[in-house]
Amino acid sequence: MNGADDPELAVGADAFTEQGSGLEVAVVGAGAIGATAAYDLARDGVDVTLYDRGGVASGATGRAAGICYDVFADGLDAELAGEAIERFRTLSGDDTFPFVECPYVWLAREGDATRTDAIRDQVQRMQDNGIVALEMDADALGERFPALQTDDVAVAGIAGAAGYADPAAYTACLAAAATGAGATLETDTPVGVRTDPARVIRPDGSIHEVDTVLVAAGARTKALLADAGVPLAVKPYRVQALVMDGDLPEPMCYDATGEFYLRPHQNGVLVGDGTENREADPGGYDRDADPDFAADLRERVAHRVPGLADGDTERAWAGLCTATPDRDPLVGAVRDGLYVATGFQGHGFMRAPSIGQRLAAEICGSSGIDAFDPTRFDGDEAFDIVDGMSPEPN
């Protein structure tokens, strides 16, 4: 479907509703979730200003892998993921951004009993919730995806409701649609946040007082709210990825034992290695990949996809994700007139179409996502950072 022809992306006056008429909202963070929320708010008739300290998708979104799936055993997570995938399909098109349907496989190796049991349990729970997912053994997996080396696979799950997108292209599209619907975009504008009343402070010290502030600034969200006297139980952590030469039409794959993932990419294959299990400084982390990262990851990937053994690295980089004590995100109101969206464990982009839409609806008066209520924590909890892609249950 060509998203430009879909009525959801209409930007004329007849596309607006009166639901949010009279509200003024500042959205801080022009990543995937912030841009989506700004777009949906503007469509609902809200006066929206979308701020970012850099450009659109210049933070974590621009460094995300772009993998999208509904591989969640929890009913709520699966519902949100399903909504997001359907919206990716609806909005994508030649004139908007690409969304490529592609099966997603996650697997555990022989001898890894913990992850093997977790995957089997996850697939069963997904099926119990009506999600289309299948369990495969090594032979069936190798027959279905001959590019994969499967001799050491103990069990694999496969989900068909999956695909990949370019995070920067998606976010640029939604930001442009938001401005087309009446929102104001202020990039290269680092702002502060305050409450009682809700307001943002521009770099020149001027104050923009609004009805509501939504902070969706990724790893910087914690510091922004701390300056406003609002503690958050969230920790930024560093992840690394690269694009290498090679041809892999399908599948997208997560090797849980090897702790890496891969997906097709327009310039070859995109590969990432999961999580650094320590808190990172959003203002001072190394955005370049570690010196030995590419060589080590290529060796691990070649074990699973032998055809990529000789692939050269086109580029490598590091980005930030955010973790919470229970591995569920913080989405909703933390104070009167102050909302947040953070803590997605690397799943923020893939759920942006649904999370942004639901946040916009909540700001306009609808109910929120109770399980993700950010006030469920005091903000000073001690917790460890764990791999967000792990199949192990929360």
Strands (E), the chain: 24-28, 47-51, 67-69, 99-101, 104-109, 133-136, 153-159, 162-165, 184-186, 192-194, 199-201, 207-209, 212-215, 235-244, 252-255, 260-265, 268-272, 313-323, 330-335, 338-342
- What are the chain's domains? 3-64+167-234+325-376 (3.50.50.60), 100-162+236-322 (3.30.9.10)
Give me the pLDDT at residue 100, please: 97
pLDDT greater than 60 at residue 393: no
Give me the pLDDT at residue 34, please: 98
User: Could you read off the pLDDT of 25-65 as tens digits, one per residue?
Assistant: 999 999 999 999 999 999 999 999 999 999 999 999 999 99
Give me the pLDDT at residue 21, please: 64
pLDDT greater than 60 at residue 172: yes
Give me the pLDDT at residue 15, please: 45
| Model confidence band, residue 388 (pLDDT cutoffs 50, 70, 90) | confident
pLDDT greater than 70 at residue 11: no
Give the mean pLDDT of 266-292: 92
User: Could you read off the pLDDT of 72-123 as tens digits, one per residue?
Assistant: 888 899 999 999 999 999 999 999 999 999 999 999 999 999 999 999 999 9
pLDDT greater than 80 at residue 255: yes
340 beta partners? 215, 332
Give me the pLDDT at residue 392, please: 58
Give me the pLDDT at residue 390, please: 73
Q: Which of 29, 64, 56, 88 is nearest to 318 (CA)?
A: 64
Give the mean pLDDT of 138-167: 96
User: Could you read off the pLDDT of 286-341 as tens digits, one per residue?
Assistant: 999 999 999 999 999 999 999 999 999 999 999 999 999 999 999 999 999 999 99
pLDDT greater than 80 at residue 17: no
Residue with the bigger pLDDT between 74 and 213: it is 213
Q: What percent of the chain has pLDDT over 70?
A: 93
Give me the pLDDT at residue 18, please: 53
* pTM across the whole model: 0.93
Give me the pLDDT at residue 8, please: 65
Got the DSSP string for 260-322? EEEEEETTEEEEE----SSB--TTT---SPPTTHHHHHHHHHHHH-GGGTTPPEEEEEEEEEE
- Among left, alpha and beta (phi > 0; psi -120 to 50; other), residue 94 is alpha
Q: Within its chain, how far is the Cα of 260 from the centroid?
A: 17
pLDDT greater than 60 at residue 19: no
